[in-house]
Structures are given as structure tokens and as C-alpha cells.
A and B are shown apart, each in its own frame.
Chain A
Amino acid sequence: MVDILEHPVSAHDLPDPHHEDHGPTGILKWITTTDHKVIGLSYTVTAVVMLVIGGVFAEIIRAQLASPNGTLVSLAQYNELFTMHGSVMIYLFAGPFAFGALANIMVPIQIGAPDMAYPRLNALSYWLYLTGAITMLSGFFTAGGAANFGWVAYAPLSNSLNTPGAGADLWIGGLLLTGFSAIFTGVNLVATIFYLRAPGMTMFRMPIFTWNMLVTAILILLAFPVLTAGLIMLYADRHFGTHIFSVAGGGVPVLWQHIFWFWGHPEVYILALPFFGMVTEILAVFSRKPVFGYKGMIFATLSIAALSLGVWAHHMFTTGVVLLPFFSIMSLLIAVPTGIKIFNWIGTMWRGEVWFSAAMLMAIGFVITFLIGGLTGIYLASPPLDFFTHDTYFVVAHFHSVVMALVLAGMAGLYYWGPKFTGYLLDERIGKIQFWFLFIGTQVFTLPLYLLGLRGMPRRMAIYPHDPQWKFLNDVSTVGAVLIGISTILFVVNVVVSWKKHPAGDNPWDGQTLEWFTTSPPPHHNFYRLPAIRSERPTWDYNHPEHRAIPHAPAPVTAETEPVR
């Protein structure tokens, strides 16, 4: 019925068909490896460490804000903390976790490839990311402290007069390194997806996660070079006496905002699209159904990506020098493909055999939390409302709903794919407890911030006036932050408790895509054999021949053009 062959993929002059990795072991393996799975695992561990570091900053910030005249940190330290919290979470956790960690491991396996297209470039990406992270964080050990101009580094504030010291330069340097790391990963992903697919894996049979990673990689290639150029200009302004962003020398400070947000808004989708892909896969597998509206999903992803490059100035409505109607229309338009996605996620679960595993719960939590963040984003796309809420906690609440949704999705991804690349299941019971802490904590943390913003509390303040309403809402939000902190501790506890305890087997979730066809963890160069690929869920077709007639499959024929029934 389905043709199975010894997998013929072979690297250059192989010693034997079932060749193993004969490389060094231990720390030398970590340093010299070019295997995408080992590099991806390094990325995963580094990114989770960054999540914990950024989370500790967040807890300190929330503890400081628990009382109006908080004295936990000084005002200057507070500036460093919110700057580095944003920078660590955006540059060093969310992005690398998505396109460095899970995509690096899963994309080649999902398309039946032996490795990424450029394995050594892949390794270089990791080293640039790690050294970039070290560079950025080492600002805390310099005399002047870490960067303190906000994660956006707006122009007059970030020049050498207003922000002297090594911390800001280390921030720029670290961002240059991680930026190049992202660009190289983007090149690698596009080349892998275009050139290394298994026979029969046409573009419209790739899993949604792989599709989203392709679109993300193209977005990276469009957006990150702009940021890198901007950082070099900023450095030149600080040290070489150029006046690109200074009014005194005839420059334009708003140009920095244009450059930064031309990168910054696509970056939002560079962060989000991989997690959308993960959630789509998880919802389909745990509903035991194919993805509802597969092509609609791909179309929605492509349109979100295209539109995201035309909306950057909605971060700059209050500068007064941007074209309000254009950016407002484009921003509102993004709601349409995003709505398609939400609809399709619900459609995927609709009348499915839903299995509420920890991963599935977190994926559903993602959809709900992301909906809250997405809807409040529509408010902010309207200039009159944005003038009212700009730089208040309403904006903070909006993007924290979005990024906490991404954290939920990332955790779902670890519960879902962790067994594949480690070979061992995580504990389901602790996972469910973790979900409830994370989900309830997220809402308790963000919802008061919306009200705070509407009551006028500006962001980036270490102390605030004695207003009983503000104090109460801040206290509730701090409780939420503590709940989120507990959930992160529970995740670490889960990893320790279930360390090498429950072997996963090849296909613990009855998965649909190719990664569940190989062993857990996959062998060197990923596959001993491959099934015939006749739809977007080849593993399911192989395991469930009775369900072969699925919406996107062509006429059900085998390779020998023999009717199945």
C-alpha cells in the first residue's frame, strides 16, 4: 500500500548506510558539532536560560512597582532593568528560541532532510548568538552599568552625551552579533526548505510549522539588515562624530525610529509566526484531525508577513511626521489574516477527538491569550486611541498579552517536541499544573495593566503618585508576575524530575508529520527510511491507512499508480 524503502539519502562518501556520528564527545562535541539537532539543543538551553534571566529582571521590576515609592532598586538601576528585560526577552529569548532552537531541530526533520543546507554556517549562527548574549549582558559588569535607554534606543537619548559608557556600546555590539546570527539562520532555513525536501514533499505538503519558518526566514532577510545598518549608524554617531541622528549636525532623530521600527514591526511577526506554526501542529495532532483550511493558513501567514512590512510607523503615530491613514489602514488589515488563523485553529479543534495533554492545554491557552493581545492591538492601530494610550501601560499590557501567549506556545512546543529530540517525555501532571499557573498568572498579570494604562499610568516609571487605584492594580499585576515565576520554576522542576524517566518511543502523540516517523532522538542525518509522501501528513497516512482520503491528498494512488481501493 505504501512504499517503504531504505532511505537513500546519503552524505558524501559515507562509510555505511546506517552511519553514525563518529565525532568527538563531551565539550568538544558541543564546540565542534555541525549537527542541526545538537546545535538546536544548544540554542534551546541557551534561550531558556535567557528566559529565566529576563524573567528575574521582570520579577524585580514588578516587586519595585508593588508600592508607589518602591526602594528595591534605584531609579538608574530601574532604567537598566527595564531596558535589559526587553532586550533579553526580544533579542535573546523569543527570536532565537523560535528560529534557532525549535526550527533548527524540527524543520529539516519535517521535510525529510538529513541536515540544514549549510551546517557550518548553522554552527556559526549559534556562536554569534551566544557571544552576542554574553556581550549584551556583560554591560552589568561595567562601571556605568548596562544600557539604560529602553530596548528601542531612541535617538537623542542613545547618543554619547545622554548615554555615555560601555554598557550602551556593549548593547549595540551584542545586537550586531545576534543580528548576524539571525540573518545566517534565515539564509540557512530558506536554502534548506527550497532545496532539501524529500521526494514527494511538494511546497503545499509541507507542515504549517515549516511554512511559517520559511516565511519567517524571508522576513528576517528583509528586516534584520536594516537594523544592522541602523546600529552601525548609531555607533558612528556615538564615536566617529557623524550626525545622522542629531539635530545639531543637520541629522534627523526620527530617522532612527523609522529604521528601528522597519525592523521592529516585522520582528514582532518573526517572533510570532514560528509559534503560530507550532500551535497549528499541536492543535491538529491533539484533535486527531488534519489542519483545517491548510491553504488558507498558508495564505494568512504570507499576507501577515507582507503586511507587517508596511505598518512600522504605527509605533510612531505621536511623532506627528508619519502618514496616519496609510499606517492605520495597513495595521487594521493585519487583523483579517490573523482572524483567518484564529478561525482555522477553532475549526481544527471543531468535532475533533480533543486530547487535553499539557501541550494541548498550552496551545489552547495561547489562542485565548493571543486573542486578547490581538484585539487590543486593533485599538492601538487607530490613531485617536493611540494618541490617548501611547506610552502608557495599555501598550505594555497589549504586547505582554501577545508575548505571554508566545511563551505559552513555546512551552507547548517543548512539551510536544521535547520527547522527539530528547527521547524522553516530560511529566504530564506537573505540565498541567504548570499550565494553570502560567495561564492564570498571565491574565492576572496583564489585565490590570490595561486598566492602569487607561487610567493614565505611563510606562518606564520606577515610582508613581499615591493613587489607591494605581497601587491596587499594580499589586494585582505583581501577584500575576509571581504566578508566572512559579510556573517557570515548575518547568525546571519538571525537567529535573522526569529526566530520562519516561522513554517516549518514536511516536508518543500519534503525530502526523515526518518527524514522528523517525526514532526519538533521531539518528545522525535523521532518517533510516521514509514513507511515501502523498499529503501534508505522511506519518498519519502510513499509520492509519483507513483514513487515507483526506482533503488535500491528490487521487489516492501509490507510486505504482495502483488505486488504493
Chain B
Amino acid sequence: MKVEAKILLSLGLFFGLMVAVYWNWGHENAGSVMMFAGMLLGFLPGAYYYWWSRRMKPRPEDDPNATQAQGAGVVGAFPGTSIWPFTLGMGSFFTVLALVFGIWLLVPGLALVIWALFGGVAESRRGGKV
């Protein structure tokens, strides 16, 4: 976990330096704000990973001498086939088309989106199909 944290933290550090130089040299607002936000995107998750990396035991994938047996156990829940991503995608499709062809398309669009959200959450509660 330490390497992951270091990548993100160094990215944040780089942006911190860049935004300092750019703001003091160029006095340009848009780019400075965007680089500042980029710095945060490095620091926020980076700090979280760093905080965890000091409190957790090294995982088998961080151990250069790990055996495959150390990875035994449940890796995660991988849902099997599911119709809800398709439903949500079609709902988003109609919602975006409402931007172009008229507000009435929001009716099927939002209906599908909400249906998909409820369906997806219910499926996660059941554990999904494998």
C-alpha cells in the first residue's frame, strides 16, 4: 500500500509546486484553480492510503516473497449477470436526449434511472448471481 500512497502524494506535491510557480508568475485564474484541484486530487486519496498503509499489515500483494496460498480466501464479491447496468445506461441515454429533443424524454429517462438504482441496490443486498 505504501507505493500506491507515494504515487498519489508525489502527484499532489508536483501540482503544489506547479500551482505556486504558475500563480505567482502568470496570475491566471482558470489554470491555477484547475491545478489546485489537481493537487487536492493527489493529496486527498494519497493521504488516505498513507494513513492506512501505516496501520495495516502488508498484504500478500505487497510482499515480494508471497506464495499463492497466502491469497486464499474470499477476494471479493463479483456479481454475475445483471440487467441493471443496461437499464441505468438506457436511462442516462434518454436523460441526455432530453437535453436536445425536449423535456418529455426525462419521463422515461428518470424512470429507468430510478428503477435501475433500486434494482441494483436490491440485487446487491441479495448478493447477486454468480
Contacts and interface: CB of A to CB of B under 8 A. Distances in A.
B68 A8 contact: yes
Contacts, number: 205
A173 B130 CA distance: 35
Contacts of A109: none
Interface in B62-107: 62-86, 88-90, 92-93, 96-97, 99-101
A199 B100 contact: no
Interface string A1-45: 001110111111111000101111000010111100000000000
A313 B23 CA distance: 14
B130 A11 contact: yes
Contacts of A300: none
A201 interface: yes
A153 interface: no
Interface string A130-170: 11001100000000000000000000000000000010011
Given A11-B77, A194-B4, A235-B99, A323 B28 contact: yes
A203 interface: yes
A348 B10 CA distance: 28
A532 B71 CA distance: 12
Nearest to B96: A173
Contacts of A201: 61
A166 B67 contact: no
Given A127-B90, A197-B61, A326-B25, A34 B78 contact: yes
B67 A5 contact: yes
Given A9-B75, A196-B75, A309-B15, A202 B4 contact: no
B114 to A, nearest CB: 15
A194 B100 CA distance: 39
Nearest to B87: A127
A206 to B, nearest CB: 10
Interface residues of B, number: 63
A199 B35 contact: no
B26 A326 contact: yes
A176 B96 CA distance: 8
Contact of A204 (B3, B25, B92): B3
B121 to A, nearest CB: 11
A32 B28 contact: no
Given A13-B127, A123-B82, A135 B93 contact: yes
Given A128-B92, A199-B66, A323-B28, A34 B61 contact: no
Contacts of B22: 310, 323, 326
B67 A3 contact: yes
Nearest to A557: B65
A124 interface: yes
A467 B65 CA distance: 69
Interface in A302-329: 302, 306, 309-310, 312-313, 322-323, 326
Interface stretch (A218-226, A370-378, A474-482, A502-510): A218-226
Given A7-B68, A114-B76, A198-B71, 8 more contacts: A11-B77, A12-B74, A199-B60, A202-B63, A258-B28, A306-B15, A322-B26, A561-B65
